[in-house]
Structure 1
């Protein structure tokens, strides 16, 4: 037993030295857990941020002024007051994404209970801002008009008032969600890439034959790759969570980081085994890259991070329960967002352990077959 642990340790050190002498892989790890996490959190295309808006106020009443004052950063820039003649020219030149036109007698018609229309002109070439911003503008105008009417007409008070309270992310800031989700995606991606590339590199350089004449077993070789690469990714993820997410992006973490890292370690156990399995199927690095695309896309897009699992077809939901990323996303959301403890996420931990054990057994069988063919 002591000899076994010694062999695994020595082989793990060899894997770490091989990774240290590969500057491209090191750069990929640093880039993934720094730049990719920051850009994924701060450059979200479907988030309305500093959208330029102009106001055409022909009513110039307290109601119209109240509506105009309701648009402020960070969703919108400071509204610019313009005339009707400047509206089309501003949209054509791209100076404004939205132009809100409030006609004369707006306040009089609203207080009298007569139909009143407000025109919103949108530059739809800025598709993301136009799509999400139109809903923002409509909601702001409706809320301000309703509040104004209730203040000046006592008979307009509604018997029921809807109050929205968002738990865990009160400001609905997508930076909180995207940064943590990017770390989970990077854990999956790098775990598969590092172990698969390490095995293919050894096979292409002929160093795998050197291991066959040494007193080591296929299980020890595979465990060393899983432990070494898994440890590197886990340390990088922990540093990114502490210094990029918590420090640079100032995203609050509700639950236990150690509990999340425990789940990440079990996910790494499964994904590194999957990387070795793909490396035994591929005959070269280009083939491994193609297989990687076929595997990573479903793992990332269907895991429940990019799209809620409840919005997917039932068949897809059941199929993706066999993927480790699905359970890591559920565990990460529960622990890091909601502060869940072990009594809540033990199901995900157990699922990750079972999936990892099955993938490790399949990969080990395939790895032994590959070594027997080479020997």
Structure 2
């Protein structure tokens, strides 16, 4: 009896794989999700200032103003443009520049005489990421150049206490190291829900689900077949992306055990594929399924701790998200891939995922049986 049931689960899963193979849209989605999407998340949105456009209105034309102008260089800034105040207004209105620094007449004279001098910095705040970090960069650069000019060397006040920065696990503070790996973790959740839910809805729309009802298979076997087949596709794609895109293309070092991470991903897939089937039994069509995906997927990804630490969230949100599989998947993924943690460190997230996956599976199975009984 057991071998017969396992054979049914295997054959039904192979049928799901053939159905996916004949669906070019889903295949393109899988390939894009674990290649271009991972690369884009890692490299297209840098947190640090990069190639910001700046214009200088130099009304002083002094040695100090020239020093300040020459202090803005790549990679933080492009070569400064020297404009008049009227040209600056037009350039900023057109979106050609992000920063405009105005150096007034008599600036060097007033600085050397010890007078208080104000520089005007106009910022295009619609470019939010550059405006936020770039304003601080401009202020630091101007202050450093003025201090050097006045003191004739880069003298600093020696403090009795010094802070030595040691950045562990990411010494260069490279955003690319974080973005690529977290995108894979997020994509595992997203794609597993989409594939299992779409597979069930596709069968219901094509009428093949009724054919399964007259075959000697049980709802448990049907559901397990969808879980293992779609989970295997996502797990294989994640492993390939981790090795070829992240380690090969992006040159991101992986500290921990990839097999251990994939084992945790398999447990997460057990939970998320069951969640996809549950959503597919609630939705009546693919558009409805897509709307449910938006309601479920965004909180799962944004509140899991992948985008911002859970400690900075309200306590109520932290408690609720303990019952979400993505919270523990992000926890074990970061521990293994970034910090090289072993099973002795991540056994708790593994246990959480096993419990959450079991609950979601049986809840989805009960809903799936109810759906099948209403069709019979």
Provide the TM-score with structure 2 as the length reference: 0.88
The residue number in structure 1 matching 2:316 is 315
* Residues 2 and 125 of structure 1, relative CA distance in 2, 3 Å threshold: closer
* Residues 155 and 229 of structure 1, relative CA distance in 2, 3 Å threshold: closer
Q: State the 1:136 CA deviation.
A: 2.4
For the pair 1:257 / 2:278, whether they are aligned, the reply is no
Instruction: Answer with 255-264 or 131-140: which moved more.
Output: 131-140
CA offsets 1:76-96 (integer angstroms, 9 cap, x no match): 113345566755455455443
The residue number in structure 1 matching 2:30 is 29
Q: State the 1:109 CA deviation.
A: 6.7
* Structure 1 residues not aligned, in runs of 5+: none
Contact 1:149 1:156 in 2 (8 A): no
Instruction: Answer with 83-92 or 5-14: which moved more.
Output: 83-92
The residue number in structure 2 matching 1:271 is 272
CA distance in 1, matches of 2:91, 2:374: 70
SS at match of 2:172: coil
CA distance in 2, matches of 1:157, 1:240: 49
* Residues 21 and 178 of structure 1, relative CA distance in 2, 3 Å threshold: same
SS at match of 2:365: helix
For the pair 1:295 / 2:296, whether they are aligned, the reply is yes
CA distance in 2, matches of 1:163, 1:146: 23
SS at match of 2:101: strand
CA distance in 2, matches of 1:344, 1:105: 63
CA offsets 1:30-68 (integer angstroms, 9 cap, x no match): 12112222222222175532111234553744x666655
The residue number in structure 2 matching 1:359 is 360
CA offsets 1:260-311 (integer angstroms, 9 cap, x no match): 2111111111000001111112222222222212111111111112232122
The residue number in structure 2 matching 1:127 is 128
SS at match of 2:52: coil
Instruction: Answer with 257-266 or 240-249: which moved more.
Output: 240-249
Number of equivalenced pairs:
374
CA distance in 2, matches of 1:307, 1:321: 15
SS at match of 1:8: helix
Alignment of 1:327-346 (within 5 A): 327-346=328-347
* Structure 2 residues not aligned, in runs of 5+: none
Contact 2:38 2:183 in 1 (8 A): yes
Contact 1:59 1:103 in 2 (8 A): no
The residue number in structure 2 matching 1:201 is 202
Alignment of 1:36-47 (within 5 A): 36-44=37-45, 47=48
Alignment of 1:131-150 (within 5 A): 131-142=132-143
Contact 2:197 2:279 in 1 (8 A): yes
Contact 2:52 2:76 in 1 (8 A): yes
The residue number in structure 2 matching 1:370 is 371
Provide the TM-score with structure 1 as the length reference: 0.88
CA distance in 2, matches of 1:220, 1:232: 18
CA distance in 2, matches of 1:368, 1:207: 16
SS at match of 1:322: coil
Instruction: Answer with 78-87 or 32-41: which moved more.
Output: 78-87
Q: State the 1:71 CA deviation.
A: 3.2
CA distance in 2, matches of 1:107, 1:10: 82
- The alignment's C-alpha RMSD in Å is 2.8
Q: State the 1:127 CA deviation.
A: 3.4
For the pair 1:182 / 2:187, whether they are aligned, the reply is no
